[in-house]
Structure 1
Amino acid sequence: MESMGHMGKSPGTELLWGEPVSADQLTAAEQGYARCGPAERFLWERLSVFEGAFGREAVREVCASDALPAGEIQAVLDRLAPLALLPVDDLFDGEDGAPRYWMPHPMRAVGARRLTERGDRWAVVLRHRRWCVKLARQAADWWQSGRQIDARNLALRELPDLAAAMDPTTAPLSPSAEADTSVEIAVSLWFLWVACGRVAEGHIRLRHALSLHSGPLPARALWLAAYLELEAGRPEDADPLLVQAWAAAVRDGDDRCLGMLAHLRGATALFQGRAREAAAEFREALALMEEHPEFGPSRELCWVALALTLSRTDPEAAQEALDQAVLDTSARLAWTGRDLWADAWAHHARAELLSWDGERERAAEHARRALRAHLHLGTAVGAACAAELLAQMRVMVGRMTSAAHLLGAADLLRASVFEETYRPAEYCATSRDRSETLLRGLLDDQELRRAYEEGARLGLFALAGEE
């Protein structure tokens, strides 16, 4: 996990930001700094506030000042880059193919010390945090507008800097002075934590920011805290947060959050196997949601959740809910793009309904699509649940080894992402229990154990590609 708290420390020659910096490295960096002109030194100092890689637009927004206008930054950056920066080939696409750079730790140490001596450090840190708020908002907007992979990639690409800004102790003055900013960034990135599988990280970062928040806690922050507890397999810890969030939403007049909370109450009830209550909550959420929500789960996701709730008790009503999700998707496509998260769960619901109708091959294909879609987004909860559903389909057509492979890989995924105390939703546990009961009746313990181990070795990405 990224280092936290570095911006509030005085830079020195010891361990800097979690990286050892030797005296020889610092000497070489100081010599490079001395060879620079005034403008290059000025920019060098300001670039030291960046945690990760950065592009030209970020440099303009964070580093520009009266002494170095935005219009001059590009020329100065081009001169400075060979002396103090390394070009970066990001895993995720940059700004329209524009080059991105990273400042090595010795150069950052020199820049940070000089920036502090100049008396500008905290002003630049604040500009950096405002830039991080803008980034998080942009990522959230992209998610809502159907650019979900772009939103995830943007958030991951900038996560080192966003992580620093989510830590209130890195802010000037006191931690409480910037706690609102830290909470806002963490909440804007809700999709990264919940839909893209970084539950534990989101829980740590949000909890840290909220612990230093001095005023009334925002309703959406409490909603996210509850969601993260649920995704971590702790519905009993989500319940009190849901109550607090509802009171805060009423206090703040946040009608959108009331709809989000109804959806989350439904998800909590579904997790615990209370299908009737879950269906009622999802219907309330749909009544409260606007046509194109500007934050949080979409209407398509809520319709799909209702379909999942009904799929094992009222298939006809579940199909009607899926049909409504398709209608909402059509309306969304006229306005923006697809909701890939809702699509993944829709495949899961279709697999359940097709299995009910005895169409096992088609059911298995939709379960496989659900698995691949969740893996593409990074959703561990959804991927494990889809893998276990697909395993059930494979058992039903006599593919015992393939089913056991899937269960072994799902076990490894859960063990690598969640705590040992994690327990899956009742909804998912039912599929798992059915499969294991059938497998244990057809394979002996040694055969089953070997198949589980082989599945864990292969992994869900490989297994999801099998026909």
Structure 2
Amino acid sequence: MHAVKRKAGTLPREITSFVGRRQATADIGKCLCRWRLVTLTGVGGVGKTRLALHVARRLQRTFPDGVRLAELAKVHTASLVASAVAAAVEAPDTVSTRDPVRVLADHLAGRRLLLVLDNCEHVREACADLVAALLRAAPGLRVLATSREPLGLPGEHVWRVLPLTLPGTQEPAAGAEDAGTGYEALALFEDRASAAVSGFVVDKGNENAVATLCRRLDGLPLAIELAAVRLPALSVDQMLTRLEDRYRLLATGYRDDQPRHRTLRAAIGWSFDLCTGLEQTLWARLSVFAGQAGQEAVQDVCSGAGLTREQVLSGIASLVGKSVVCRIGHGAHVRYSMLETIRDYGKERLAESGEETAVRRRHRDHYLRLAERAEADWFGPRQPAWLDRTRADEPDVWTALEFCLTEPGEARTGLRMAGALWWYWIGSAVRDGRHWLDRALALDTAPSGERAKALWVDGWVATGQGDVQRALGALTECADLARRLGDDTALAHATQWIGTAMWIQDRLEEAALYLERALDHHRATGELTSVTTVVSCQLGMVVGLLGDVERAMALCKDCVALCEAHGECWTRSWALWNLAVTWWSRGDLRSAERYARESLRVKRRITDRLGIPFCVEFLAWIAMANGDAEAASLMLAMSERMWEPIGAPLFGWGTLRGWSVHCRERAERTLGKDTVEAARRRAAEIPFDAAVAYALGETRRPSGGAARPGVPAGTLPGVPAPSAPGDSLLRLTPRERQVAALVAEGRSNREIAARLVISQRTAEGHVDRIMNKLGARSRAGIASWAANHLTSGA
């Protein structure tokens, strides 16, 4: 599409409609009333220029001397910046030898004008010097700049332009054109697609596909527009399947007078070319991270081969300033991430550099060390911290495992890493653990200690899924291999989990023999881990079901006491659950309920995804036994929902199956099939955390509702639904509410600090924490929330 020629310095005519960004447009206009220099920053393709021009058009009547645009993308020499701006504002004497800065200052001194400086990043220092001089000379001047990084001047207000709102990542934009959804990205796609294909609309039939496409494109307006114009040749679903090479797919599009905007590659490449050599190297190396990475990970992976750890830190700070890297969190909890489009470009550059394999191996080594450190530290009070950290790092743990299983010669290290992560698989990622273990075992079949360990872990995980035959096969192979290798520890673990699998099959006498043997071995070695400790309560469960209740109680209570002495959660929660089942088998419902709820509270603390449905269903049995069929029916339905991401419910086996079937049949007889089915439908809409709170008796009615399009309402264990706005108010401290109110007034961090008599750094920390608690991505998000939930005296 050809650009319309216009007089230099005037605003270009809008060829396509401006979609979304209503709140941002209004807020930036207010900022220009308070600050004389406002800089819009953000990654390439996020829409900084388009937003700046839209704001400028809205403000034209506000400035008696008008709005002028200086386009600096084609200015490649710093000394020519002033001349380009002089031409834009039609300053006289632009061809003489007079200092152009002086000419500009004289020309603008008595004017009230808005100057838009577009694309300042490559001549940032020259722009900063010029703007500083002009603002001193012209009190009526306002400057709206766009740049990949701030100009760095005192009094500059930086506005970070974010990607368009998307289903599954943000709330709908206030007042946004909604395309039926309220999300800006979908609205933009619909607008541009309808121009390419007459009559195209985003409706229920294609909304999920369009939302997925827009998410894959990071909500970047440039990428979405380039995708939309492909619609005559490719359907949305076809585009999704071909996004593996996004740059090739989006290589054609609008033809404007800025060649670097013709493709997404050009937009991102522009940023890359403006980086220093160190920054380019760091950008490429950072691309190996699949998710957010902490400082330690970044330094471990990106240092070496020419970069020191100190250079990595300074380099990443520069990339944050250039909007290439996103900084999330504050202080010791800061993490870094990249948009997928930025990361993909870095991957290409990393492959070209010839060091891709070396960097990926350092990445794998970092997460292997992390897994083994966590395993060694697992039996103790740091379990919740290790789980939180690993869940945050999960995309990169997956990436490290994938490297092991695809890079020649690395499969055995894959076995080692998958085996070391047993503590994570069994409580947090049962299906994922099975996937990685099975793949690694299939790739490296040679006898080794790594294989023996991976086999017993795989057998354990398969048991947790209810796949008992597969479990026994892996565990038997492990036992045979352990004998050949003389690996007594692996043999003891195999024996332990064979006993557990037999318990599930209701082969109680055989189970007891295997578990007794494993317990003797673990006691003889003195090894203290969650696995060697949990065998006590496993044996306790079995002997209790065989009638030796006193020994069952003693074994489980000893296990609880040992865990409490070491601050351990996971094994303790299972010992408590086993005590609950033992009391149930004796008919003591009150004691059974007390221990089951205590177990569930501990499991909630570590989000034990395998253990929580055990507790919820068990509490349903107790509710049914106490005559509360409605509560029992709902908890049964909630536990069924929790089992779906794991596999077959373990209550489908042995003695437990009899109790489970009895409870379900009794609930159906009492309430009727229609009521039970209604409970299942209701359970599907109840967030996981709300279901747990209901089972614990903390709420009388679990909250829940239909999910927004593309956003499951907390149906996966450990993934709560978005909290209600009122919940956020309860989470903010009184000081944070004060800060939120001042942000809503448009106060800068410096002004907030002065108002509350605190340091500016403290004020910044408050703002970061408020954003994290509210899920806001900008100060505008805080202001919007405060307007709805805080009074003026907050």
Q: TM (normalized to structure 2)? A: 0.52
Pick the aligned partner of 2:501 from 260, 263, 268: 268
How does 1:253-264 map onto structure 2 within 5 Å?
253-264=486-497
Structure 2 partner of 1:11: none
The answer to whether the 8 Å contact 1:139/1:155 transfers is no
CA-CA distance at 1:358 after TM superposition: 4.6
Higher relative contact order (CA 8 A, sep 6+): 1
CA-CA distance at 1:125 after TM superposition: 1.5
Letter in 2 for 1:118: S
CA-CA distance at 1:28 after TM superposition: 1.8
For residue 697 of structure 2, give the secondary structure of its aligned residue in structure 1.
Answer: coil
Structure 1 partner of 2:527: 293
Structure 1 partner of 2:692: 461
The answer to whether the 8 Å contact 1:404/1:455 transfers is no
| 1:293-320: CA deviation from partner (whole Å, max 9, x where unpaired) | 3666131x11111121123322112112
Q: Partners in 2 of 1:448 and 1:354 — Cα distance? A: 28
How does 1:297-446 map onto structure 2 within 5 Å?
297-299=531-533, 301-312=534-545, 313-329=547-563, 333=565, 336-338=566-568, 340-418=569-647, 424-446=652-674
How does 1:124-139 map onto structure 2 within 5 Å?
124-139=359-374
Structure 1 partner of 2:350: 115
Change (3 A) 1:462 1:49: same
| 1:181-207: CA deviation from partner (whole Å, max 9, x where unpaired) | 2222211111111122x2111111111
Pair 1:33 & 2:266 matched: no
CA-CA distance at 1:422 after TM superposition: 7.8
Q: Partners in 2 of 1:428 and 1:29 — Cα distance? A: 58
The answer to whether the 8 Å contact 1:367/1:390 transfers is yes
CA-CA distance at 1:270 after TM superposition: 0.9
The answer to whether the 8 Å contact 1:407/1:455 transfers is no
Change (3 A) 1:110 1:190: same
The answer to whether the 8 Å contact 1:391/1:406 transfers is yes
Structure 2 partner of 1:104: 339
CA-CA distance at 1:437 after TM superposition: 4.1
Q: Partners in 2 of 1:456 and 1:39 — Cα distance? A: 50
Structure 2 partner of 1:8: none
The answer to whether the 8 Å contact 1:167/1:208 transfers is no
For residue 332 of structure 2, give the secondary structure of its aligned residue in structure 1.
Answer: coil
Structure 1 partner of 2:286: 47
CA-CA distance at 1:99 after TM superposition: 1.9
Q: Partners in 2 of 1:17 and 1:225 — Cα distance? A: 34
Q: Partners in 1 of 2:325 and 2:661 — Cα distance? A: 55
CA-CA distance at 1:357 after TM superposition: 5.0
The answer to whether the 8 Å contact 1:391/1:403 transfers is yes
Structure 2 partner of 1:76: 315
Q: Partners in 1 of 2:297 and 2:581 — Cα distance? A: 47
Pair 1:215 & 2:215 matched: no
Change (3 A) 1:112 1:448: closer
Q: Which runs of 5+ in 1 are unaligned?
A: 1-13
Q: Partners in 2 of 1:214 and 1:161 — Cα distance? A: 26
The answer to whether the 8 Å contact 2:327/2:337 transfers is yes
Decide which moves more: 49-58 or 263-272.
49-58
Q: Which runs of 5+ in 2 are unaligned?
A: 1-238, 252-262, 699-794
CA-CA distance at 1:428 after TM superposition: 2.6
Change (3 A) 1:416 1:19: farther
Letter in 2 for 1:86: C
Change (3 A) 1:305 1:396: same
Q: Partners in 2 of 1:403 and 1:464 — Cα distance? A: 9
| 1:383-402: CA deviation from partner (whole Å, max 9, x where unpaired) | 23322221221122222211
Letter in 2 for 1:435: C
The count of residues paired between Structure 1 and Structure 2 equals 438
Structure 1 partner of 2:513: 280
Q: Which has the higher helix share?
A: 1
| 1:360-381: CA deviation from partner (whole Å, max 9, x where unpaired) | 2332222223334334434444
Q: Partners in 2 of 1:32 and 1:294 — Cα distance? A: 53
How does 1:160-171 map onto structure 2 within 5 Å?
160-168=395-403
| 1:333-353: CA deviation from partner (whole Å, max 9, x where unpaired) | 3xx431x22222222222233
Letter in 2 for 1:258: L
Q: Partners in 1 of 2:500 and 2:650 — Cα distance? A: 17
For residue 101 of structure 1, give the secondary structure of its aligned residue in structure 2.
Answer: strand
| 1:265-297: CA deviation from partner (whole Å, max 9, x where unpaired) | 111011001112222222211111157636661
CA-CA distance at 1:147 after TM superposition: 1.7
Change (3 A) 1:251 1:147: farther
Change (3 A) 1:277 1:112: same
The answer to whether the 8 Å contact 1:166/1:183 transfers is no
| 1:198-240: CA deviation from partner (whole Å, max 9, x where unpaired) | 2111111111222222532511111112112211111112122
Q: Partners in 2 of 1:456 and 1:41 — Cα distance? A: 47
Letter in 2 for 1:182: G
Identity %: 24
Change (3 A) 1:455 1:65: closer
Change (3 A) 1:130 1:226: same
Superposed CA RMSD in Å reads: 2.7
How does 1:163-182 map onto structure 2 within 5 Å?
163-168=398-403, 172=407, 174=408, 177-182=409-414
Change (3 A) 1:436 1:82: same
Q: Partners in 1 of 2:282 and 2:367 — Cα distance? A: 19
CA-CA distance at 1:405 after TM superposition: 1.4
